[in-house]
Amino acid sequence: MTPSPPPSSGSAVASPPGPAAGLEPPAVQRIFESLSELADDVSVPRNIRRGAQSARDELAKPRVALDVRIASAVYVLDDLANDPNLPTHGRTAIWSIISSLESLQ
Task: Tell me the domain boundaries of the chain.
Answer: 26-104
Cα gap 5→30, rounded to integer Å: 38
- The residues near 48 (Cβ < 8 Å, ≥ 6 apart) are 38, 80, 83, 85, 86, 90
Residue 12: pLDDT above 90? no
**pTM metric for this prediction:** 0.74
Residue 9: pLDDT above 80? no
What whole-number percentage of the chain has pLDDT above 90? 64
Cα gap 33→87, rounded to integer Å: 20
Q: Exposed (0-12), middle (13-18) or buried (19+): which is 46, by Cβ within 10 Å?
A: exposed
Residue 88: pLDDT above 60? yes
State whether residue 42 is helix, strand or coil: coil
C-alpha R_g of the chain: 18
Residue 2: pLDDT above 90? no
pLDDT number for residue 24: 72
- CATH number listed for the domain at residues 26-104: 1.20.1440.50
What whole-number percentage of the chain has pLDDT above 70? 78
Residue 1: pLDDT above 50? yes
Task: Calculate the average pLDDT of the chain.
Answer: 82
Cα gap 52→49, rounded to integer Å: 5
